[in-house]
Chain A
Amino acid sequence: MQVRNHHDLWSGIMFMAFGLLFMVFSRQYQMGTAAKMGPGYFPTVLGGLLFVLGLAIGATAYSKGNREAKLAPFGWRENGLVLLSVLIFAGALGPLGIVISIVLLVFVAAAASHEFSVRDTTLAAIFLLILSYLVFVKGLELQFPVWPKFLTK
């Protein structure tokens, strides 16, 4: 048994895992009957279906007719920096306000690019600050903390 298509194998495993998870968590909800379905009924059925589909997809990974495919490497740097920048923004918005949050977001995210340039990023950050302030704070009057908490007190 040779794995020909690693994409199919891993997506199969992923779907099976999701199906199983939803079935297990659905156990705490009432099933009910077909005529009077409880909150656990539909998710359990779907979870089972997903598990079976995952099994079928995973099995095709071994099929001789399938084309060969290897997994592409996971982009740790790109994923890490971009998502970190989003997390920082979310964490900083409340205590530090939107101005500082945007600056942090822009710089951390921009560092993920292979063409990172401090000058361009600074210009972009300034432009985005002005634009966001005018459009979101002034124009649309969305509710944000603008400046850090310790300054506005």
Chain B
Amino acid sequence: MEQLLSNLALGFGTAATPDNLLYCFVGVVLGTLIGVLPGIGPLATIAMLLPATYKMTDPTSALIMLAGIYYGAQYGGSTTAILVNLPGESSSVVTTLDGYQMARRGRAGAALSIAAIGSFFAGTVATFLLAAFAPPLAEVAFKFGPAEYFSLMVLGLIAAVVLAHGSIWKALAMVVLGLLLGMIGTDVNSGVARFSFDVPELSDGIEFAVVAMGMFGFAEIILNLEQKEHREVFTSKVGRLLPTLAEFKRAVPAMLRGTTLGSLLGILPGGGAVLASFSTYAMEKKLSKNPGEFGKGAIEGVAGPEAANNAGAQTSFIPMLTLGIPTTPVLALMVAAMMIHNIQPGPQVMTSNPKLFWGLIASMWIGNLFLVVLNLPLIGVWIKLLTVPYRVLYPAILVFCCIGAYSLNNNVFDVFMTVPFAILGYIFKKLECEPAPLLLGFVLGKLMEEYLRRAMTISRGDPMVFVTRPLSATLLGLAAVMLVIVFLPAIAKKREEAFSGDD
């Protein structure tokens, strides 16, 4: 406990310097902005901004800002969900169900403030969980050899598959395809440039940000344009911001449950914020005395999922910070940001860069505070923003993405490369293949191969090494159990339910 407090003191000391406060502020404001705007998510934004962090001398500031964008987007997404009935962020899809109905009844203000308060509460709890559980987990990670790391990645990828939307088989295939795309570039062991077709730029591998921009940024724009959507903004009356006492009493238990479930699911690879909000909504509906109210403006349906998605967004940092394994594509970009500054993510970060580690955690709480203080008074500004038509918005997204892609290496090659990935992303969506597992596979590809090679060299080619080492066997066992469970008919049906409505 004392250790925890002194660590947190170090963290707050780092995060509360004027520079870092500014970066945190910029991060959460940007995050809210893109969270509010449908059609652009944290993934594309962080990919765009990655080059800008090259210039920052302190990697801590860079990570504080990027993290702020991620959880800030969870706040912003709910505003759009409530006022426009469109999810600003994929994790706020369920908020549209009851939040928008509340807005139609003139309770938009209450819905917005409950969402903000729920998010803040969840953010506070998740920050402490992160601070408390990261060190012991990192201890475990120090016992890991190559076999354990390989098995851990298998577990992570399987979890991402299990938690992905849609068909499990397709998600598996997407992971494998991602791993293969990750192979492109120079092989570290032999120095052979693989699948580069004598293109010098390809021998360095494909930039992750390029893949993310193409598949998530550009493909999304094309799909949105096809839909020819029209937006109706519910701005006329936001109503009183303060919820009534009765509303508050109903919302608090939902927030508590949402925070708990969200924190747990956030740690799982591939889960993160999206799954957290969906499952919480389903749970609240089941627990409610009058489930008939859900979908007609039940405040629990706003409070629970909003708390859950923010908690999930934050606890998803636990596996990245302790094991060095990103569990969502957004976190994979954070890993990229760390590597730019020569920090190899993993359990050693806590001891080698304690300021970065604890500073980042403390900044999350500060950022959440910024968000709740800022967001409610600024509602008017966000509403204005929502009236910006998509026809003006998407060319702007394209401009920023193109500039971002170019700045990765000051080379137009990276801009050209976004095009094939945009086409791929578009086709994947049309064929109902979820691209998120592919991105995870893409990031982990080379690492996984490296650990597999090392483990097999040590065991002299005996694959039994993965099951004879107890830690590795446990991890693989968990992965197998997950796969088996998800194929059980009863669970398979539940899984479909949990993801239904999201599309």
Contacts and interface: CB of A to CB of B under 8 A. Distances in A.
Contact of B177 (A18, A82, A93, A113): A18
Contact of A132 (B403, B422, B423): B403
Interface in A97-127: 98, 102, 105-106, 109-110, 112-117, 120-121, 123-125
Interface stretch (B76-84, B186-194, B273-281, B322-330): B186-194
A11 B177 CA distance: 12
Contact of B173 (A57, A87, A94, A109): A57
A39 B395 contact: no
Contacts of A10: 431
B133 interface: no
B399 A102 contact: yes
A119 to B, nearest CB: 11
By secondary structure, the B interface counts as helix
Contact of A56 (B169, B195, B412, B419): B169
Contact of A18 (B180, B403, B410): B180
Interface string A45-60: 0110110011011001
A113 B396 CA distance: 13
B456 interface: yes
A128 B396 contact: yes
A75 B425 CA distance: 13
A52 B282 CA distance: 35
A134 interface: no
Contacts of A39: 187, 189-190, 192, 194
A11 B433 contact: yes
Interface stretch (B3-11, B219-227, B305-313, B375-383): B219-227
Nearest to A90: B415
B357 interface: no
B463 interface: yes
B17 to A, nearest CB: 21
Contact of B194 (A29, A56, A79, A144): A29
A54 B412 contact: no
A9 to B, nearest CB: 9
A142 B177 CA distance: 34
A153 interface: no
B391 A83 contact: no
Nearest to B410: A143
B394 A86 contact: no
Given A82-B398, A85-B398, A109-B394, A140 B431 contact: no
Contacts of B167: 8, 57
Nearest to A50: B176
A22 interface: yes
B415 A86 contact: yes
B169 A82 contact: no
B465 to A, nearest CB: 11
A11 B427 CA distance: 9
B173 A78 contact: no
A53 B403 contact: no
A46 B415 contact: no
Contacts of A71: 430
Given A50-B173, A75-B222, A132 B179 contact: no
Max count, chain A CB within 10 A of own CB: residue among B173, B180, B218, B402: B173
A29 B192 contact: yes
B461 A35 contact: yes
B192 A75 contact: no
B170 A11 contact: yes
Given A11-B432, A140-B55, A86 B418 contact: yes
Contacts of A128: 395-396, 399
B406 interface: yes
B289 interface: no
B226 A78 contact: yes
Given A36-B457, A43-B180, A47-B180, A113 B402 contact: no
Contacts of A53: 169, 172-173, 176
A123 B395 CA distance: 12
A8 B403 CA distance: 36
A105 B365 CA distance: 39
Interface string A31-44: 00111111100110
9 contacts: A7-B432, A11-B173, A35-B460, A86-B218, A93-B406, A109-B395, A121-B395, A124-B395, A143-B410
Closest 5 A-B residue pairs measured CB to CB? A35-B461, A90-B415, A34-B461, A53-B173, A39-B187
Interface of A: 7-8, 10-11, 14-15, 18-19, 22, 25-26, 29-30, 33-39, 42-43, 46-47, 49-50, 53-54, 56-57, 60, 69, 71-72, 74-75, 78-79, 82-83, 85-87, 89-91, 93-94, 98, 102, 105-106, 109-110, 112-117, 120-121, 123-125, 128, 132, 136, 140-144
Given A7-B431, A110-B392, 20 more contacts: A7-B432, A10-B431, A11-B432, A11-B433, A14-B431, A22-B183, A29-B192, A35-B457, A37-B453, A43-B183, A54-B173, A57-B169, A79-B426, A83-B422, A86-B422, A113-B390, A125-B395, A142-B403, A143-B410, A144-B406
